């Protein structure tokens, strides 16, 4: 099996929302990729500029970042042709690897725009940004590719934000960190999500458990579902006892902590994602990760802070009303 480490550059409407095509808010203008063997050696490269069809003028902030302009893009290939060449070059037996989850998302949305054959579902890939965060940051915070390259002392004499260069850098980061248990560190792409209960994804990885749900009509309905709010130990799959009840951390995120008798505290996080349809349905991504004492303390503190803020808000509101 090979790893296909790829990176995309995309453009958007230079005239804001009014100039935006709703089916393709981001149009891919470059595909860069390297094929990496099981020993993390680069064995082949792919690079293609794409002639834009929807947004021919570059958005100013994108033009400022790139090393090419509209004139160069005119010499590019149409998306469908370049993308098909890319997929043919990938071969039969491979896993996609990207820095973050958005490249795979935009690749598929652009393929859909041209009615190309969809990629597999469910689609596993390696999110090297997340893998790097899991291995190098105790709080699992993600960082930019530039920072990872710098932290690992990787020579960076080629400019970033050229798709082929970023793909090479990502492959070098991968070779440098050589995750021993990479087979278990895959993610699921969420460009497409489960449509039925039978398609739901429940995966126990080496370090965490992940549940991607089918659709619900609202987040309230989801948060009343016993299976959604259940916190199972990510190591032995047994039900944990409640330590910190589910609480809302932002508009679309929730947190809780459970305790396994054998494996200790488990931090659970829920993200509510729009299902993208016209009926405002949502689906849920739940992750359960072991948590040390300090992390649990931080979560409790976060809960108290949020409670305090709400209380103040209510008080100031009621004083205005009275
Ligand atoms: Zn357990």
pLDDT tens-digit profile, the chain (322 residues): 999 999 999 999 999 888 999 999 999 999 999 999 999 999 999 999 999 999 999 999 999 989 889 999 999 999 999 999 999 999 999 999 999 999 999 999 999 999 999 999 999 999 999 999 988 887 678 899 999 999 999 999 898 888 999 999 999 999 999 888 888 899 999 999 999 999 999 999 877 899 999 999 999 999 999 999 999 999 999 999 999 999 999 999 999 999 999 999 999 999 999 998 888 999 999 999 999 999 999 999 999 999 999 899 888 877 776 6
Q: For residue 301, give every residue at least 6 positions away whose Cβ sits within 8 Å of its Cβ, in sequence order, or none.
A: none
Q: How many residues does the chain have?
A: 322
Q: For residue 238, give every residue at least 6 positions away whose Cβ sits within 8 Å of its Cβ, in sequence order, or none.
A: 232, 260, 261, 262
Q: How far is the CA of 280 from the centre of ligand 1 (A)?
A: 36
CATH 3.30.420.10 domain locations along the chain: 2-184
Q: How far is the CA of 233 from the centre of ligand 1 (A)?
A: 5
Cβ atoms of 216 and 282 within 8 Å: the answer is yes
CA-wise closest residue to 125 among 229, 33, 197, 231:
33
- Alpha carbon distance 135, 206 (integer Å): 13
Q: How far is the CA of 37 from the centre of ligand 1 (A)?
A: 35
Q: For residue 123, give every residue at least 6 positions away whose Cβ sits within 8 Å of its Cβ, in sequence order, or none.
A: 96, 104, 188, 189, 191, 192
Q: How far is the CA of 182 from the centre of ligand 1 (A)?
A: 22
The per-residue pLDDT for 209 is 93
What distance lies between CA 127 and its chain's CA centroid? 7
- Exposure of 240 by Cβ count < 10 A (0-12 exposed, 13-18 middle, 19+ buried)? buried
The per-residue pLDDT for 322 is 60
CATH number of the domain located at residue range(s) 2-184 in this protein: 3.30.420.10
- Alpha carbon distance 163, 166 (integer Å): 5
Q: How far is the CA of 264 from the centre of ligand 1 (A)?
A: 7
Label residue 319 left, alpha or beta by phi (over 0 means left) and psi (-120 to 50 means alpha).
alpha
Q: How far is the CA of 1 from the centre of ligand 1 (A)?
A: 33
DSSP-derived secondary structure for 251-319: TTEEEEEEEETTTEEEEEEEEEEE--STT--EEEEEEEEE--HHHHHHHHHHHHHHHHHHHHHHHHHHH
C-beta neighbour count of 311 within 10 angstroms? 10
Q: How far is the CA of 236 from the centre of ligand 1 (A)?
A: 4
Q: How far is the CA of 239 from the centre of ligand 1 (A)?
A: 8
> Which tokens belong to 57?
């003028």
Q: How far is the CA of 210 from the centre of ligand 1 (A)?
A: 15
The per-residue pLDDT for 321 is 66
């Amino acid at each position: 099996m090979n790893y296909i480490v790829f990176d995309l550059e995309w453009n958007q409407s230079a005239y804001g929302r009014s100039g935006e095509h709703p089916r393709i808010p981001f149009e891919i203008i470059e595909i860069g990729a390297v094929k990496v063997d099981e020993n993390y050696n680069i064995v082949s490269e792919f690079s293609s500029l794409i002639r834009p069809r929807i947004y021919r003028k570059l958005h100013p902030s994108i033009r400022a970042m790139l090393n090419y302009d509209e004139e160069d893009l005119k010499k590019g290939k149409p998306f469908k042709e370049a993308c098909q060449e890319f997929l043919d070059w990938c071969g039969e037996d491979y896993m996609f690897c990207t820095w973050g989850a958005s490249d795979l998302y935009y690749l598929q949305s652009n393929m859909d725009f041209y009615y190309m054959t969809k990629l597999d579902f469910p689609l596993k890939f390696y999110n090297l940004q997340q893998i790097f965060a899991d291995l190098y940051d105790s709080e699992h915070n993600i960082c930019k590719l530039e920072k990872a390259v710098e932290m690992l002392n990787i020579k960076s004499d080629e400019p970033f934000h050229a798709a082929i260069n970023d793909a090479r850098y990502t492959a070098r980061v991968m070779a440098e960190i050589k995750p021993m248990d990479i087979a278990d560190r895959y993610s699921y792409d969420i460009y497409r999500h489960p449509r039925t209960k039978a398609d739901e994804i429940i995966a126990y990885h080496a370090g965490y458990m992940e549940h991607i749900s089918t659709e619900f009509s609202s987040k309230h309905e989801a948060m009343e579902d016993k299976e959604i709010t259940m916190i199972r130990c990510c190591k032995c799959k047994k039900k944990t006892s409640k330590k910190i009840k589910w609480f809302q951390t932002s508009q679309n995120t929730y947190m809780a902590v459970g305790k396994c008798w054998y494996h200790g505290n488990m931090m659970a996080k829920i993200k509510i994602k729009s299902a993208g349809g016209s009926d405002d349905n949502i689906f849920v991504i739940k992750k359960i990760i072991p948590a040390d004492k300090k992390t649990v303390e931080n979560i409790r503190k976060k809960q108290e802070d949020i409670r305090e803020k709400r209380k103040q808000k209510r008080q100031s509101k009621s004083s205005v009303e009275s």
